[in-house]
Amino acid sequence: MQKAIDEARKVITAGKTGVVALLVKQGKVIAQGHNRYAETGDLTAHGEMAVLRSAASQLNELSVEERKQITLYVTLEPCLMCFAAISFVGLKRVVYSALAEDANEEEMIARGLTAETLNPLLTRGSLDLVPGVLREDGRDILARMGKLHAQ
């Protein structure tokens, strides 16, 4: 998670949106992505989607069981769209820093649809969720992006 946080800070310093996602297999980063909607105008270009797209050919070469061994690290709790994509790809473990409640709830598609509430509803089986890792660092990234929800 620390690597994702560090990369997010670099991305923000470069004037980009600082939600960073990493795919890690056996302790090694195999792909990295960050939100690109500010650069592209594509509102679906979230960090999770970017990393899944960049690793698509690698993931397609893996068996279902091998994909289950990959962990996604992301600096912000995945939204509904990203959460579904993670499930479709066949990943089983997601570690995230800032929680949805830390983000600006006005930009959320549906309030209350957090990773934890969606998890038991997945048709491909629940994911192993590890929320709030280095949460204060994740909140700092949101604050730098101007996305920290006023509490």
Number of helices followed by number of strands (H, E) in the chain: 8, 5
Is 48 one of the annotated active-site residues of the chain?
Answer: yes
d(CA 143, CA 22): 21
72: exposed, middle or buried (Cβ count in 10 Å: 0-12, 13-18, 19+): buried
Which residue among 48, 65, 105, 136 is the active-site one? 48
Active centre residues (catalytic): 48
